[in-house]
Amino acid sequence: MQQLVQLRGRGAPQNPRNRFVDAEYVADGDWLDAHGDDEPDPRTEFLRDHTRGIISRNDSPDIPFETSVNPYRGCEHGCIYCFARPTHEYLGFSAGLDFETRIMVKHEAPELLRRELASPRWTPQPIAMSGVTDPYQPVERRLEITRRCLEVLAEFQNPVAMVTKNHLVTRDIDLLGELAAQQAAVVNISITTLNEKLQRVMEPRASTPARRLEAVRKLSQAGIPVRVLAAPVVPGLTDHEMPAILAAAADAGALAASYIPLRLPHGLKGLFEDWLQTHFPDRKDKVLNRIREMRGGKLYDSEWSTRMRGEGVFADQYEVLFGAACRKHGLVRTFPALSTAAFRRPHDPRGQMGLFD
């Protein structure tokens, strides 16, 4: 088996071939003679996304939202397990290093969002940020695209559900608190492990577990409902931590929790196997076999009825373990529905009467 060199601060060690593209980049002999065996660590590139629509829609029966806004495509957090990695292949990139080093940025997202919310065709409903990649990845600190989108949502009082694993979400407590006062905001914070050493190699550029718990505490103290996502649960690697994660989350002020077992669609399977071989070769077979036991003998099964839960003995054990931990710590599994009662179109002189157009 080829020995892969893990790049510092990156989740994937290489760029596997795009499943839609026949061509593949391989360093030739002249390049290797000039530079040696190892290529330089790739720098992150931020590329402009010229999309003309910002609200995405889905009708998947196992996804709890219909509309979402994604300010970024690709994610510099570099989480090796990210189910969104294969979406980068639709852009002609690889699901590997490209996903975390070639980030598409929707600079016009706030303006596009304002235009879509102002349209009489928009039916007020909760929007998820983000449905795919993290809205608070490192570059957001500088670009503030997510914050400006939140400013638009607060202007219209349109409900939002944030999903992130970055402490940076606390920067926007003012806007989230304004929406939460109208029962129009909830924040979902993913905590995969409490083991910082494991987190550093699994989620190399995301906030540490301690910082995420601090974010839970700050948001909760500001009156913003927080759900902790023990997701993904990695069989044989992080599954034993579920009770401890939920205990820490409840202690920090979280009101709700949920979990999702690891999913490995398309080329993510090979990336994750290589990562295990690099970092946990002694556990690799155990982890992969556990996954297969939960996925009908495969590393991934896309069936709607089981892809978010898995099946078999281990899936049943997770459900029992999770339920018991929630009951012990007073965590609910679902929040009341976000409210659209306060929605308004600020520039409509008739106020909410414009909704009846």
- Per-residue model confidence as pLDDT tens digits over 322-340: 999 999 999 999 999 999 9
**Token pair of 137, please?**
């990845």
pTM (predicted TM-score)? 0.89
Task: Say if 38 falls within a structural domain.
Answer: no
Structural domain containing residue 165? 53-335
Task: Say if 75 falls within a structural domain.
Answer: yes
Identify the pLDDT of residue 62.
Answer: 73
Edge-to-edge strand list for the sheet holding 45-48: 45-48, 102-105, 72-73
- Flag whether pLDDT at 97 surpasses 50: yes
Pairing of strands 226-233, 185-190: parallel
CB 96 within 8 A of CB 25: no
**Mean pLDDT of the residues in the chain:** 90
**Quick one: average pLDDT of 125-129?**
97
**Quick one: average pLDDT of 17-35?**
58
CB 33 within 8 A of CB 67: no
Identify the pLDDT of residue 42.
Answer: 81
Cα separations (Å) of 351 from 181, 315, 342?
20, 49, 11
DSSP string, 191-232: ---S-HHHHHHHSTTSPPHHHHHHHHHHHHHTT--EEEEEEE
Task: Say if 65 falls within a structural domain.
Answer: yes
The distance from CA 213 to its chain's CA centroid, rounded to whole angstroms, is 17
Question: Looking at per-residue confidence, does 356 or 17 come out higher?
Answer: 17
| 348 — pLDDT class (breaks 50, 70, 90) | low
Task: Say if 3 falls within a structural domain.
Answer: no
d(CA 98, CA 163) in angstroms, rounded, equals 22
Task: Say if 236 falls within a structural domain.
Answer: yes
Provide the 3-class DSSP secondary structure of residue 244. Answer: helix
Please give the span between the terminal C-alpha atoms of the chain, in angstroms, as a whole number: 64
Nearest to 110 by CA among 67, 57, 160, 55: 55
Task: Say if 20 falls within a structural domain.
Answer: no
Number of domains in the chain: 1
Cα separations (Å) of 301 from 47, 232, 258, 290, 295?
33, 15, 20, 14, 6
CB 150 within 8 A of CB 176: yes
- Flag whether pLDDT at 350 surpasses 50: no
| 351 — pLDDT class (breaks 50, 70, 90) | very low
**Token pair of 54, please?**
């910002």
Provide the 3-class DSSP secondary structure of residue 305. Answer: coil
Q: Tell me, what DSSP letter sits at residue 332?
A: B
Under 8 Å CB-to-CB from 329, ≥6 apart: which residues? 246, 247, 249, 250, 251
**Token pair of 85, please?**
């990695």
d(CA 212, CA 215) in angstroms, rounded, equals 5
Identify the pLDDT of residue 9.
Answer: 81
Q: What is the pLDDT of residues 135-156, one digit of tens each?
A: 999 999 999 999 999 999 999 9
Identify the pLDDT of residue 79.
Answer: 97
Question: Looking at per-residue confidence, does 307 or 40 come out higher?
Answer: 307
Task: Say if 47 falls within a structural domain.
Answer: no
Residues in the chain: 357
| 37 — pLDDT class (breaks 50, 70, 90) | very low
Percent share of the chain, pLDDT over 90:
77
What is the CATH classification number for the domain harbouring 238?
A: 3.80.30.30
**Quick one: average pLDDT of 232-246?**
97
Q: What is the pLDDT of residues 271-289, one digit of tens each?
A: 999 999 999 999 999 999 9
Identify the pLDDT of residue 25.
Answer: 52
CB 160 within 8 A of CB 188: no
Identify the pLDDT of residue 32.
Answer: 40
| 31 — pLDDT class (breaks 50, 70, 90) | very low
Task: Say if 281 falls within a structural domain.
Answer: yes
